[in-house]
Chains A and B, each alone.
Chain A
Amino acid sequence: MTTANPILRQRRREPLTDASLLTLIAMGIFIAMYASAVIFMGGAFQKVQQFLDLFNENAALIIISCALTLVMIGGGINISVGGIIGLTCMACAKFLEYSAPENSALAVILTVALALGVGLAFGLLEGFMVSYLEIQPFIVTLAGMFLARGLTTILSVNPVKVTHEGFQVLVKTKLQIPWLGYVAKNGNLIPAKLEIGAIVAVTVVAAVWLMLRYTKLGRGVYALGGNRQSALMLGVNVKSVCFRSYVISCLLAGLAGLTFLMHKPAANASIAMRSEMDAIAASIIGGTLLTGGVGNVFGTLFGVMILAAIQKIIGLSPLNESWWQDMASGAMLGIFILLQSVILKWRAKGGKDTGAKAATQSR
């Protein structure tokens, strides 16, 4: 039996997996949507700045969406990320309020440490409860969300503005890209600007992508979401992988809180309310399956872009009311899920019937 099967020798392209197909769909939809906005609405959409603002304004959402994608691939969920953003913002704002303005560099470093520390603390706690005590992740992170919101209110009921000079430097520092700018009416060149938060967000996307694809932990997360029992039998340290995925997701939420504060240097008790739901929606639109095992942070990035573009388009249209935005986002999510299931069913029928066969036989 050493004669090799000639078919195996051929180096042919593997057929598209369901996961990459879903990502491609998300990308396609975003491009179509944005292109039609440029064509039909023109105006602001023709400026590159408008596109970069999608990143500037949604840096925190991009980061927590990556966090959500990570835990959702592992078959879990984390709805405490919005709460952690709120708590991080408030804690950092309060800290900066009391720190002396002259020692600014140290204060900023401590602020970053505080933001990550808040995320880490939640991550350790929730990760331990989900993976080692085996409590439902939905319940654990729901409790985490309430805890974080409660702590935020304890810190301050009133809005807190950040005026600390050192931090203001972070807020105001922007990457200027002159060749993407435009010439204003008075003849001055206004360069396109990218905020630090946006750069952080893009870096996070790349880092999480690399982590998921090229590290043992990342592949463990996929195995965990694909089939927990199998992953265990294959020798994956299921509990540790699960634990670490929650720690990373909460840590990212802390980071997202920091970028949130950098974009808008003020905190209040209801900051980033409901953003965990946006993050879940973005992950799903980007092709992450709620059942786990399938997902991709690039898809998630496009998921965020789609939601953000909807917001922008409606904001610049005559329908500028918040309920229109909600309804459009909701409709988008519904259509996307429908599309996903139709396409996956259709593909499953076309020869790939092994999954269905396995399902009936594992009865």
Chain B
Amino acid sequence: MQNDVVLTMRGISKQFPGTKALDHVDFTLRRGEIHALMGENGAGKSTLIKVLTGVYEKDGGSIHIEGIEGEAAIHSPQDAQNAGISTVYQEITLCPNLTVAENMFIGRTDGAIVHWKDYEKKATAILENLGIPARARQELSSCSLAVQQMVAIGRAVDMNCKVLILDEPTSSLDEKEVAMLFKLMRELRSRGVGIIFVTHFLEQVYEVSDRITVLRNGELVGEFEVSELPQLELVARMMGKSLDDLSELEKIDKHVPTDTETVYEASGLSSVARKPFDFQIRRGEINGFTGLLGSGRSESVRAIFGADSVTGGRVRIKGKEVRITNPHEAMKNGVGYLPEDRKRDGIIADLSVRDNIILALQVMKGYFKPMKKSEMEKFADEYIRELNIKTASQNTPVGSLSGGNQQKVILARWLLTHPDYLILDEPTRGIDVGTKLEIQRLMLKLAEENMSVTFISSEIEEMLRTCFRLIVMRDGNTVGELTGDQLTQSQVMETIAGGEAQHG
């Protein structure tokens, strides 16, 4: 072991029911470095952090920490803290109703009596020392999120931590606050603290980090010096493609409409989760939002559908200005949305296949105009046949169907309302290849029948095969729009890695 290494993790494995979250992952942290841990959502970053902080027990591998003989035994967050590992989580884990000073010292003092004076003196010293713009006696809730985060870091540092884990610390901060945080991180680095920086913001990694470890699908991709890993290559590694590999895939002949009317047009549309953006789609067009997981793809379509509360912007449907602030209004205007998480937002598992198919149509008609049973049965039969849904009968509860067939039921639900514009968010995730192809083919067929479709998928090949136009996103911004010959994997990745942010 080198002298300046503070933390070594070797061959860490962690199994969850059904998935291997970590598969023999190595990780090394040196004294006084900022080490970025990168990977798409689900790559195993959080699991690795949770193993290190004792939230999860590892299934295999070893952890060595400087100053501790032999293997470090970490079975609880308390153990981790005692071993000198402190974590500042994405959601601030402090108590907003207590003072800054108290938040720094609660839970780690001796004796039954609280000595406020001591607390405040020590806290003021820490705040001044680290240049955190807060007062010791201030109530925490009156501090900005960035300052709250810094208070949490101050607490961690005061506990003599050797390893400081910052888990997505910047995700809810604005640029100025991020700069403040980075200043503090650099200060701590110069004091010899090893910092693990988990984030999905690429620019931020290049701004402060010294080294990057990339994970993908629970496996270690590699450890790199920041200077040796260009941004484009980092994206490629995160997505699991090597640059040379990016051969063109065969394309289905797509009839690209250019002269049809614009079905949906938004300008400056924004929601609580999405910055303002412009977007439009023509009749019979298939387009898609692409980008790394967490880049704001779903947030974009949720804003279009009114699923997140809309905060601004103008929407025109077929040239007519409309207001869409909730899903019901979107549906009335001919917009359908198949959500990303079908378990949570989509199916109602205990209801029958028929009831699930009828649902959206019934909502649109209004609850006071019930449909005839025979009518419902007819519709259900029609779509079960058309989409080839494999179910024992229309009365079977949807929950007992396979994932792919559940997905088709939701698709049927929306097709039944005959939307002009259908949004499909990850419709192919977690379903078998055969059904995937069926859904892709169906999309192309719908487009031919003059329906407009927006498609989101984590599998870029799938999108390249079906979409006429791709909107590329990064860190919540649109960074490019690709059409025609630009629709290649390398072009998409280049845009993700290097494209200039454009608002619109």
Contacts and interface: CB of A to CB of B under 8 A. Distances in A.
Contacts, number: 112
Most chain B Cβ neighbours within 10 Å, of A2, A218, A233? A233
Contacts of B183: 1
A223 B141 contact: no
Interface residues of B, number: 47
B107 A2 contact: no
29 contacts: A1-B129, A1-B187, A4-B128, A8-B128, A8-B135, A14-B139, A15-B142, A17-B139, A215-B113, A222-B95, A222-B98, A223-B95, A226-B96, A227-B96, A230-B95, A231-B95, A233-B77, A234-B93, A234-B95, A234-B107, A235-B107, A236-B106, A293-B96, A352-B141, A354-B145, A355-B96, A357-B172, A358-B96, A362-B91
Going nearest first, the 5 A-B pairs with the smallest beta carbon separation are A235-B107, A226-B95, A226-B97, A293-B97, A233-B93
Nearest to A235: B107
Given A14-B137, A223-B98, A234-B95, A214 B113 contact: yes
A133 interface: no
Contacts of B145: 354, 357-358, 361
Contacts of A294: 97
B131 A223 contact: no
Nearest to A237: B107
B483 to A, nearest CB: 33
A220 B148 CA distance: 19
A17 B96 CA distance: 12
Interface in B467-485: none
B111 A354 contact: no
A157 interface: no
Contacts of B406: none
A363 B309 CA distance: 12
Interface in A236-253: 236
Contact of A5 (B98, B133, B148): B133
A264 interface: no
A235 B93 contact: no
A75 B155 CA distance: 25
Contacts of B107: 223, 231, 234-236
B130 interface: yes
B111 A226 contact: no
A240 to B, nearest CB: 12
B320 interface: no
A23 B127 CA distance: 30
Interface in A318-363: 352, 354-355, 357-358, 360-363
B41 interface: no
Contact of B112 (A215, A229, A236, A362): A215
Interface in B96-111: 96-98, 102-103, 106-109, 111
Interface SS, B side: loop
A76 interface: no
Contact of B114 (A15, A219, A229, A354): A219
B298 to A, nearest CB: 12
A220 B95 CA distance: 10
A233 B92 CA distance: 10
Nearest to B308: A363
A244 to B, nearest CB: 11
Interface in B296-346: none
A8 B98 contact: no
Interface string A293-307: 110000000000000
A361 B172 CA distance: 7
Nearest to B89: A233
Contacts of A2: 128-129
Contact of B111 (A8, A216, A225, A361): A216
B97 A216 contact: no
B93 A229 contact: yes
B124 interface: yes
A217 interface: yes
A320 to B, nearest CB: 42
Interface residues on A, range: 35 or more
Interface string B442-474: 000000000000000000000000000000000
A184 interface: no
Given A2-B129, A8-B135, A234-B103, 11 more contacts: A8-B124, A218-B114, A219-B102, A223-B107, A226-B97, A234-B107, A234-B155, A235-B106, A236-B107, A294-B97, A355-B141
Contacts of B112: 215-217
Interface string A107-142: 000000000000000000000000000000000000
B135 A219 contact: no
B431 interface: no
Given A234-B106, A362-B91, A215 B96 contact: no
B273 interface: yes
A7 interface: yes
A336 to B, nearest CB: 20
B144 A354 contact: yes
B400 interface: no
Nearest to B142: A352
Contacts of A222: 95, 97-98
Contacts of A231: 95, 106-107
B178 to A, nearest CB: 14
Given A15-B142, A214-B113, A358-B145, A235 B97 contact: no
B433 interface: no
Contacts of A235: 78, 81, 106-108
Contacts of B148: 354
Given A229-B93, A234-B94, A363 B272 contact: yes
B142 A354 contact: yes
A215 B114 contact: yes
B290 to A, nearest CB: 23
A354 B147 CA distance: 11
Contacts of B77: 233
Contacts of A217: 112
A216 B114 contact: yes
Interface string B156-176: 000000000000000110000
A277 to B, nearest CB: 25
A212 to B, nearest CB: 10
A215 B112 CA distance: 5
Contacts of A227: 93-96
A360 B270 CA distance: 14
Interface in A275-324: 293-294
Contacts of A225: 97
A222 B139 CA distance: 13
Given A5-B133, A7-B133, A8-B124, A216 B95 contact: no
Nearest to A3: B131
Contacts of B94: 227, 230, 234
A217 B111 CA distance: 10
B93 A14 contact: no
Contacts of B81: 235
Nearest to A213: B114
B138 interface: yes
Given A1-B131, A8-B124, A214-B114, A360 B272 contact: yes
